[in-house]
Amino acid sequence: MSTQVTNVAARAARKRPGVRPLLTFFAVLGVLVVAGIVAGLIPKLRREKAVLAATNVEATQKPVVNVAQARPAPAKQTLDLPGDLQAVIESPIFARVDGYLSKRNVDIGDHVKTGQVMAEIETPELDQQIQQAKATLSNSQSNLKELQADITLADANARLAGTTYQRWKALQEKGAIARQDFDEKDADFQVKKAQLEAAQAKLASARDMVAANAANVRRLEQTKSFCHVTAPFDGIVTYRVMDVGTLVNSGNGGANRELFRVADVRTMRIFVNVPQTWVGSIEDGQKAELRVQELPGKVFYPVVQHSTHEVDTSNRSMLAVLRTPNPSALLLPGMFAQVRFATSRPVSTLLIPSDAMINGKDGTRVATVDAVGKVRFRNIRVGNDFGNEVEVLDGLSANDFVIMNPSDAVREGAEVEVNKVTR
């Protein structure tokens, strides 16, 4: 049938010579179109086949993860904590008298000795009070002398009246005088005795007044001695605010009343906040090492003097106070230092790489690999952070392997290929 159709077409073409080239053109064009379609389809099929093969390989291939074994933390280790330095004694110096600062002998940074005069205060009002008090004392002393003379006279009159009374009493007993005369002598004797007692009472009061006035003078003179502001102990002047001519008031209240501040830096105190985990490792008398970044190569050896024996609820730490000699005054108040304790761990803990932790809504977790190579997530309780490693207090055992830097492919129950990392 097809042969007949072909023959018919050939005869028609022979009959119509212009049709054959046109048929040839369309045939060639059809071949080219088919060849183009085939040429474009084959690479696409190859790519799809390659993608499918890669997908099958990825589906069947296990993800490779780096794991590290949780290792027991060493029983002995060093604990580095920040500390604040303060002088063993640092006291503000206030004026004890009112007046004007007339002389200043020291300035910031000067070394002072106990009793050294640091400044002088001019006290005109106090000077007037002392003069008035001395005048009052002199007046009371003069009154005392007058009363002493009066009591001498009263004593003489009392003795004379007593002698007269005894004589008249003897005469009255013999009936030699009238009863009226004897009563007059008796009354006179009683009056003289009362006068003597009154004079003695006035004398005692005058003596008390003299003593009180003398005490007032001594008090004012003692206050006057405070016009010399002296150093209470050996130390360094770390602060001063007032200069010559400044009005000063006594006491430690109000603003700008502190004249100087003196610090004894021969011994330094170090205040350290010890985390709750390590409270049981810090004891009184324990030695430590102290380093300051600004003093490279210098190591000091402070000793724990005492601690609060109480954990502060705001930061869950206990304050420990250490002391160290500072004979060369290299350590200064206010410095920041690093204190190193040699401690033993109070509980058995594990260490894992810090990049193994996963923090999320489920808390702190790690991804572990079990014995058959499957991923298991575990919640852990973290202790101290040591930078590259963290302390695990609970949730892991020493035989567990944790995945480092877990990716999205690490899911619960997923099978993985393990690459162990040694630390």
DSSP 261-280: EEEEEEEEEEEEEEEGGGGG
Q: For residue 4, what pLDDT is reported?
A: 46
Q: For residue 304, what pLDDT is reported?
A: 95
Q: For residue 415, what pLDDT is reported?
A: 87
Contact 280, 106 (CB under 8 A): no
d(Cα 363, Cα 379) in Å, to the nearest integer? 7
pTM of the model: 0.56
| Cβ within 8 Å of residue 212, ≥6 positions away | none
One pLDDT digit (tens) per residue for the chain, 423 residues: 444 444 544 454 454 455 566 667 667 667 666 666 766 667 766 676 666 655 554 445 678 888 888 888 777 778 899 999 999 999 999 998 999 999 999 999 999 999 999 999 999 999 999 999 999 988 888 888 887 877 787 787 778 878 877 877 777 777 777 777 777 777 877 888 888 888 788 888 888 888 998 999 999 999 999 999 999 999 999 988 888 988 888 877 655 578 999 999 999 999 999 988 788 888 899 999 999 999 999 999 999 999 998 999 998 899 999 999 998 889 999 999 999 998 766 567 888 898 988 888 888 999 999 888 889 999 998 877 777 888 888 888 888 899 898 888 888 888 888 888 876
Q: For residue 257, what pLDDT is reported?
A: 76
Burial class (CB in 10 A: 0-12, 13-18, 19+), 5: exposed
Contact 395, 381 (CB under 8 A): yes
User: Which residues lie across from 319 on neighbouring strands?
Assistant: 273
Q: Which stretch of DSSP H or E encloses residue 217? A: helix 179-225
d(Cα 312, Cα 272) in Å, to the nearest integer? 13
Q: For residue 420, what pLDDT is reported?
A: 83
Q: For residue 25, what pLDDT is reported?
A: 67
Sheet holding 99-104, edge to edge: 228-230, 117-122, 99-104, 247-248
d(Cα 400, Cα 388) in Å, to the nearest integer? 18
Contact 340, 385 (CB under 8 A): no
Q: For residue 324, what pLDDT is reported?
A: 95
Q: For residue 6, what pLDDT is reported?
A: 44
Question: Could you tell me the two tokens for 59?
Answer: 């589906």
Q: For residue 285, what pLDDT is reported?
A: 92
Instruction: With H, G, I as helix, E, B as strand and everything else as coil, classify residue 382.
Output: strand
d(Cα 408, Cα 147) in Å, to the nearest integer? 110
Torsion sign (Cα): 326, 328, 334, 336: negative
181: number of Cβ within 10 Å: 13
d(Cα 222, Cα 154) in Å, to the nearest integer? 40
Closest of 242, 269, 232, 295 to residue 105, by C-alpha: 242
Q: For residue 397, what pLDDT is reported?
A: 86
Q: For residue 204, what pLDDT is reported?
A: 84
Closest of 377, 379, 362 to residue 412, by C-alpha: 377
Q: For residue 341, what pLDDT is reported?
A: 92
311: number of Cβ within 10 Å: 15
